[in-house]
Amino acid sequence: MIDWVHSLAGLLVGLLVGITGVGGGSLMAPILILLVGIVPVTAVGTDLWFAAITKTVGGVVHHHFGKPDWTVVRRLLMGSLPASVLTIALLSKLPRSSFQSDLILSALGVLLIMTAIATLSRRQIHDYARDMQEDTAQRFRRMQLPLTVLAGFILGVLVTLTSVGAGALGATMLIALYPMRMTAARLVGTDIIHAVPLTAVAGLGHLWIGNVDFALLGSLLVGSIPGIIVGSLLSSKLPDRLVRSVLALVLMLVGMKLLVG
């Protein structure tokens, strides 16, 4: 049976995702925890399945138009998938207690603040990385492979633990590592394609632990699909700088709320 409160949460996040492209999805788990009252581990596990399904749809579109950089995707997955499996193994050993919830809430709070900073600083990070690559191009290229695998590993841990990080934070890492290679379309496509298997593996891990509520997931999807459509239509009518600034402010405030309680 559809829970319309949960569907409204999906609608809100769908709107944010449609308007912002990346970053808005970071608010799904916090909304479920703070506004709907879902237990943190269940919010994260269910959000990972939500992300896997919605990003699969986006990934099919980007694959069809040939936008993702498959070399970069493979490098990221070399780090992120093993990291996700290791994180699930560690989570499964932790008792389902207040400690586990506190760990997730703290990690989620810190990550939302980092995502807010990344959302505001993306252009400056791109310019800095581009100038650095021009000065030390050969050395920079030698370091791209190990640094990309490391970035994937970090994202694997963060996404599996909190369900956040595959969007705005992942995109910022790619901009820093590949400032010359990543056009806007290629950046979004690469980020989404990498997120599909990562969120699927993390989601399966949380399902194995018992952290997924499929009734909640269905209600979220009912709301998110029209939300993404409406948000996408609105995005062309809103100034990008204003959207990013408002999103960063909301992410920062929610992150601080999760940290201070």
Q: What is the pLDDT of residues 178-225, one digit of tens each?
A: 888 887 778 878 888 898 899 999 999 999 998 999 999 999 888 888
Q: Model-level pTM?
A: 0.87
Q: Where are the alpha helices (DSSP H) in the chain?
A: 4-20, 28-34, 40-64, 70-93, 98-135, 137-162, 168-177, 184-209, 214-235, 240-260
3-state secondary structure of 167: coil
Of 13, 250, 219, nearest in space to 119 by CA: 250
- 75: which 2 tokens? 């490098």
What residue type is assigned to position 149 of the chain? Answer: V
- Pairwise pLDDT comparison (25 vs 88), residue with the higher score: 88
- Percent of the chain surpassing pLDDT 90: 26
Give me the residue label for tokens 């479920």. Answer: 32
CA distance 84 to 61: 25
Residue 133, pLDDT above cutoff 70: no
What sign does the dihedral 244-162-153-13 (CA atoms) show? negative
Find the distance separating the first CA and the last CA of the chain, reported in whole Å. 32
Total Cβ atoms within 10 A of residue 255: 23
Residue 122: the pLDDT is 79
Task: Considering only CA atoms, give the Rg of the chain.
Answer: 17
- Return mean pLDDT, the chain: 84
Q: What is the pLDDT of residue 62?
A: 52
**How many residues are there in the chain?**
261
pLDDT at 37 over 70: yes
Looking at residue 52, its pLDDT comes to 86
Within 8 A by CB and 6+ apart from 36, the residues are 5, 6, 9
Question: 229 is written with which tokens?
Answer: 């459509």
Average pLDDT of span 141-170: 90
Residue 205: exposure state from Cβ atoms within 10 A (0-12, 13-18, ≥19): buried
Question: Phi, psi (5° rounding) for residue 28?
Answer: -60, -55
**Nearest-5° angle of CA 31, CA 43, CA 232?**
50
Nearest to 100 by CA among 41, 164, 140: 41
